[in-house]
């Protein structure tokens, strides 16, 4: 009996430690329509939210992540899944399944995180338009210490997307491609002779993204104004935020 009690106490203490150490991501849908968030974990980290799920207008969900977790979140739109979770999405599709095992198909707005391995280590996070844009997204820090700035894109880039980058469905612009995805040229993709920060400069396309969303990544080497840090915080990820 004493051994069993000792094991129970140990498991309880372990559970309390995990709960204290976990970072909580709150995903909130402020859109007027359902979105289907996708999640992707890196480096063998825990899969959050089974990889993907539906999130109705006005609702939210909390996903705890262990220390050291890294990965990304995005929103899928225009999805239609059957009872087995098979189907497709107009934007952000991840292989035709509700529960993603891979990333979202560009163009898609991304929220990216690398959490510190302890409560005293910095988290790194950003909102990226490097893979294009499909909807507004914002990341707000809840608690924490350090710079802890807001990251996001609260502008409607679909309404201002250059014609050559537009993704159109049923007569509506549903996403805005990156110039790299459209033209696959080294100067847009920061590859080949343009594979360093010194040789890959902003372009007219990335500057359009940057002007609309100053705190979001606009191209591969847009680090200085787009990588955010915070220590010991939780995060609110909002789809269709109304402001920063």
Instruction: List, for residues 73-117, the tens digit of each pLDDT value.
Output: 999 999 999 999 999 999 999 999 999 999 999 999 999 999 999
Q: Name the residue with tokens 């990588």.
A: 227
**Which residues, 6+ apart, have CB-to-CB distance to 150 below 8 Å?**
138, 139, 140, 141, 215, 244
For residue 1, the model assigns a pLDDT of 53
Catalogue the long-range contacts made by 198-207 (C-beta closer than 8 Å, 24 or more residues apart): 203/179, 205/162, 205/165, 205/178, 205/179, 206/179
Reference 75, options 27, 11, 121, 21; nearest CA is 27
Contact 230, 136 (CB under 8 A): no
Which parts of 115-188 are beta strand (E)?
122-128, 137-142, 151-153, 166-169, 172-176
Q: Phi, psi (5° rounding) for residue 60?
A: -145, 165
Q: Does domain 24-239 have CATH number 2.60.110.10?
A: yes
What is this structure's pTM? 0.89
**Which residues, 6+ apart, have CB-to-CB distance to 192 below 8 Å?**
186
Domain boundaries along the sequence of the chain: 24-239
Burial 126-149, CB ≥16 within 10 A → b, else e: bbbbbbbbbbbbbbbbeebeeebb
The fraction of the chain above a pLDDT of 70, given in percent, is 91
| 130, two tokens | 């490097």
For residue 34, the model assigns a pLDDT of 98
pLDDT-derived band of residue 17, with 50, 70 and 90 as boundaries?
A: very low
């Amino acid at each position: 009996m004493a051994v069993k009690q000792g094991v129970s106490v140990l498991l309880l203490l372990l559970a309390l430690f995990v709960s204290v150490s976990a970072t909580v991501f709150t995903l909130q849908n402020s859109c007027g329509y359902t979105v289907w968030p996708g999640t992707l974990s890196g480096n063998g980290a825990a899969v959050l939210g089974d990889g993907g799920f539906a999130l109705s207008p006005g609702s939210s969900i909390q996903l705890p992540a262990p220390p050291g977790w890294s990965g990304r979140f995005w929103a899928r739109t225009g999805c239609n899944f059957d009872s087995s979770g098979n189907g497709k999405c107009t934007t952000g599709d991840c292989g035709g399944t509700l529960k993603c095992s891979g990333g979202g198909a560009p163009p898609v707005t991304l929220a990216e995180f690398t959490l510190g391995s302890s409560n005293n280590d910095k988290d790194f996070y950003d909102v990226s338009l490097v893979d294009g844009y499909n909807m507004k997204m914002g990341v707000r820090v809840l608690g924490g210490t350090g710079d802890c700035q807001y990251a996001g894109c609260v502008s409607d880039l679909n309404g201002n997307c250059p014609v050559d980058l537009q993704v159109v469905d049923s007569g509506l612009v549903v996403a805005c491609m990156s110039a790299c995805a459209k033209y696959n040229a080294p100067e847009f993709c920061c590859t080949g002779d343009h594979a360093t920060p010194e040789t890959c400069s902003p372009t007219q396309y990335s500057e359009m993204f940057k002007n609309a969303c100053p705190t979001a990544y606009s191209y591969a080497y847009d680090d200085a104004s787009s990588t955010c840090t915070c220590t010991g915080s939780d995060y609110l990820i909002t789809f269709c935020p109304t402001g920063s």
